[in-house]
Amino acid sequence: MSIDTTWLRCPNCLLDLDAVEQRTLGCPTGHRFDLSKHGIVTLLPPRAPKTIGDDRAMLDARAALLDSGAYAPIATAIADAVSAAWVDGAADAARIADLGCGTGYYSAFLAGALPTAEFLLADRSVDAVRMSRRAVARSTGVVLDTWRPLPLRDAVADVVLDVFAPRNPPEFARILRPGGVIVVVVPTAGHLHELRAEGAMLDVPAEKAELVADRFRADGLAYRARTEVSYALEASAATQALLSDMGPAAHHPDRRPASPDHDRTITVSVDVLVFEHATDAH
């Protein structure tokens, strides 16, 4: 079985899941979940909304953009944030839950830096989880709904990773081990502003990092670090199209301008935020 059940609990009754047959997981009350032929499991709660997450076209655009190295400085900042949270090589054995894993690019980058780390790759999109598992060998793939109680056990992760993804602070806090960290990446108001000014991207609220920090503080998580990653990206017309096609704006084609036809400089600007459990969270 290509899945580590020590991460998982039943989305129906919230009891632990274990292997009950070669390709079937089950809980003590009798709920059963089959692994797909790709070695992933879908753990959605009863009456979950019938959303599918990012479609294949969005994921393909994102993979092409990320594989070009356009966001490599962001991946480096994430790896630095994770490494700074550990001492004496402890990060090498970290259990990392990538919630909203997308193509798996950021977890694959971390896996290169922490070769013995174990990964939980989770997304609402089945295609995203499949792509991510191909990118990260030592991983468990789960389709889940981040907005609902997570089908993950208490205190199961050393690191929770959330990059441009939905956030569920109380659940992130619940699955985090004492001493663990949550690394969240959010765009600043200046991120891709050249494209936003043309209507090719959705707007980013001002002071987004502060708004996110307030939400996490409310759930007992201390705001420990903030790193701004900003740089000029020399973007071809094709790269600009990928930036538009890989994000939420792709769901709103009626609002997008014509495709760009020239190269130019595009601003990349994000905040990498680090939170942890602490009694002095404020």
* Domain layout of the chain by residue ranges: 5-277
Q: Which residues contact 160 (CB under 8 A, 6 or more apart)?
A: 96, 97, 99, 172, 175, 176, 180, 181, 182, 183
Per-residue pLDDT of the chain (282 residues; tens, 9 = 90+): 579 999 999 999 999 999 999 899 999 999 999 999 989 999 998 877 777 778 889 999 999 999 999 999 999 999 999 988 765 445 457 899 999 999 999 999 999 988 889 999 999 999 999 999 999 988 999 999 999 999 999 999 999 999 999 999 999 999 999 989 999 999 999 999 998 887 656 677 778 889 999 999 999 999 999 999 999 999 999 999 999 888 665 444 555 555 566 899 999 999 999 999 865 444
CA separation for the pair 146, 150 (Å, rounded):
6
CB 183 within 8 A of CB 274: yes
- Interacting residues of 112 by C-beta distance below 8 A, sequence separation 6+: none
pLDDT of residue 85: 79
pLDDT of residue 252: 45
Q: Which fold has domain 5-277?
A: Rossmann fold (3.40.50)
* DSSP alpha helix (H) spans, the chain: 56-67, 72-84, 105-113, 126-135, 169-175, 193-196, 208-217, 237-245
Secondary structure of 3-28 in the HEC alphabet?
Answer: CCHHHEECCCCCCECEEEECCEEECC
* pLDDT for the residue 90: 57
239: left (phi over 0), alpha (psi -120 to 50) or beta: alpha
Q: Which amino acid is located at 61 in the chain?
A: A
Q: Do residues 164 and 98 touch, judged by C-beta distance below 8 A?
A: no
For residue 256, the model assigns a pLDDT of: 53
